[in-house]
Amino acid sequence: MAKLGSIGIDVGGTKTRFALFDEKFKLVEQVKIKTQDSKNAKDFTSAVDESLDALLEKSEKDHLRVESVGVGCAGYLNGDGSVKNSPNIPFLNGYSFRRVIAKQTGANVFATNDVAAALYGEHQLGAAVGRRHVIAIYIGTGIGGALMFGGQLYRGQNGSAGDIGHYVLHPIDSSGNSRSRDVLDDIASRTAIAAEAVKLAAKNRAPHLLKSVGTDITNVSSGSLAKAIAQGDDEIDKLVRNRCHTLGIALSNLVDFLNPEMIVLGGGLTEAMPDLVRDEVEAGVRANSKPESKKSLEVVVAALKDHSVTTGAAKLAFDVSLAL
């Protein structure tokens, strides 16, 4: 007799990951594609179909019956599972995950923001099990956030709660143009850090990074930054530490305002250098938060690592299906 299985999909600005899980949400099989290899929604649908075919074939071999599929997508989603706005994947605006995936799999499909899915996964199966008031911060192409109050995800009035990437650091930008402003995405995202890193490489202040990826920002991944630091690029080390510390300073305001018991850190940058990111973010938080707010606060790295989103999306879709 076939056992229940589920599929989780993590749609990010750089890559999309598909994962098949067993009934205990243990990873069985995964498929990864580059999101930006798709030039439009039609191309993306073809890639989704091909990836799901591979997982469904594996599920049949392992006698797993897939009845639910969860999607965590970077951006803002409507209640019907369609994409309202995905700033880093504009060709997905208006895209209906529910329609495309249900047609392919015949399963119940639930789609939500990627970091909300990750936080649900960490709360159910990872670092935040047993916690009730949690902030999740994921550093990748942009900086994504999610909130949990009283053990429940908080999505706000229209589902956009947690949009930490647009947190304003300065009312005007560094050039003094009052019509612009510096936001957290522009300072501490992997994309922003990569932009500064290639400037250092071009000036030969990061020789190891220059040798490995050159000065093309599109070649600078979280892994290449971590490798450059490990090989002795001190300027890259200082850059990443400074930007993560700045993120911590910004989060200290949320710690005082919301009084969470835990901050969960994830995303590509955190996965590539977990100790550095956690230490600097925590230092920024603790140096600027009130004693009452930080007294019992924990700052941790996501236990589910690069499968936080896929696991959380799969578990959330499974739980929603049970409630139908």
Edge-to-edge strand order for the sheet containing 15-21? 27-34, 15-21, 3-11, 64-73, 108-113
What's the structural domain count of the chain? 2
d(CA 207, CA 222): 17
> Residues 35, 246, 224, 139: is their CA dihedral positive or negative?
negative
Tokens at 197, concatenated: 């890193």
Q: What is the reported pLDDT for 177?
A: 56
d(CA 279, CA 268): 16
219 in the same domain as 139:
yes
Q: Give the N- to C-terminal CA distance of the chain in Å, as an integer.
A: 23
244 in the same domain as 136:
yes
- Do residues 91 and 41 lie in contact, with contact meaning Cβ atoms separated by under 8 Å? yes
What global pTM score does this model have? 0.94
Domain with residue 103: its CATH number is 3.30.420.40
In order along its 324 residues, the chain shows pLDDT tens digits of 689 999 999 999 999 999 999 999 999 999 999 999 999 999 999 999 999 999 999 999 999 999 999 999 999 999 888 999 999 899 999 999 999 999 999 999 999 999 999 999 999 999 999 999 999 999 999 999 999 999 999 999 888 899 999 999 876 555 555 555 689 999 999 999 999 999 999 999 999 999 999 999 999 999 999 999 999 999 999 999 999 999 999 999 999 999 999 999 999 999 999 999 999 999 999 999 999 999 999 999 999 999 999 999 999 999 998 876
175 in the same domain as 105:
no
86 in the same domain as 40:
yes
144 in the same domain as 81:
no
Pairing, β 168-170 against β 152-154? unpaired
155 in the same domain as 16:
no
Q: What is the reported pLDDT for 322?
A: 80
Q: What is the reported pLDDT for 321?
A: 87
205 in the same domain as 186:
yes
187 in the same domain as 114:
no
216 in the same domain as 149:
yes
284 in the same domain as 154:
yes
Parent domain of 27 = 3-123+306-323
Tokens at 252, concatenated: 């200290």
141 in the same domain as 117:
no
82 in the same domain as 165:
no
Strand partners, 137: 145, 265
